Amino acid sequence: MSILRLALQRRWLGWLGLTTLFAVVCVGLAQWQWQRRLETVAEIRVVAENWDAAAVALDEALPDETALDPAREWQPVVLEGEYLVDEQLLARARPLNGRPGFEVLTPLLLDDGRVFVVDRGWLPVGSAQDSPDVVPAPPSGRVEVLVRLKPGEPELRGRGAPEGQIATIHLPDIAERVEAGDVVTGAYGLLDSESPAPDTRPVAATRPVPDEGPHLSYTFQWYVFALMGFIGYGWALRKEHRRMLAEASGEPVAQPVRRRPSDADEEDALLDAR
């Protein structure tokens, strides 16, 4: 029997189908990893283009105050107004370098009556309670701040938080809590600097590290796995064909050569027997 006729038997067609299905899954996972890499590279490019860009007015960077253009993320913006300390919130479950903590969100009342949420930085969990030991006060009175724009976070249903805290920076939710004016819901700002500068402030946000992650290597690995599936199928088919030819000709089937155990192996076997 030829190897082709063997491959067309129902059993081997079934194995070929399974191998093909395995390869399709591997290719799909490879494409998913590649898409993840493209998204990561795009995010790195946006950081590189916008982090050190010249600061602009809020209306220029956010013409639609209900949605932030992804290409404008991290854009520096200059704002003037007065902090609403009584409306301040803490975003919980914000780790930094392995330490649990909070982001301090202080609304800023702008001159035109709108309210813009400013993330003034990170604080660790307190030593004896589930809140910071001390929240540094922002400058009082009129202040000028430099922030970098970030889109709001999605709502997490079923996640509660104590009074004065929130589980996620969901800007429409914050807008319902702030009573001083209309809250801009398209973006909030990571604080870079403020004038006048306070004596102390929360830990400032740092520039994201341009790390693509392992997505490229994972992409290649999944393609290799798909190829290995067909190689394994071909090896098994060829081995079966050789066995059938040997049986048909009456020749003994070649057996793998077994290595004679070494003295060390025999000593180990005696010790195990004891």
Quote the crossing angle between the two packed helices 10-50 and 215-249, to the nearest 10°. Answer: 170
The domain ranges of the chain are 1-51+210-254, 53-195
Q: What integer pLDDT is reported at residue 180 of this predicted model? A: 80
pLDDT of residue 168: 93
Classify the C-alpha dihedral 122-123-125-129 as positive or negative. negative
pLDDT at 25: 97
> E strands of the chain, at which residues?
76-83, 89-91, 101-110, 115-124, 142-150, 165-166, 188-195
d(CA 44, CA 61): 19
Per-residue model confidence (pLDDT) at position 127: 84
Position 90 scores a pLDDT of: 95
What pLDDT does 24 receive?
97
Instruction: Quote the DSSP letter at residue 96.
Output: B
Gap between the Cα atoms of 132 and 120, Å rounded:
14
What 3-state class would DSSP assign to 156?
coil
| pLDDT value of residue 273 | 63
189 and 103 Cβ atoms separated by less than 8 Å? no
Block means of pLDDT (10 residues each) for the chain, 274 residues, are 83 93 97 96 95 94 91 96 94 92 95 94 89 91 96 84 89 90 93 93 92 94 96 92 81 61 68 64
Residue 1's identity, in one-letter code, is M
pLDDT of residue 1: 67
Q: Is 110 helix (H, G, I), strand (E, B) or coil?
A: strand
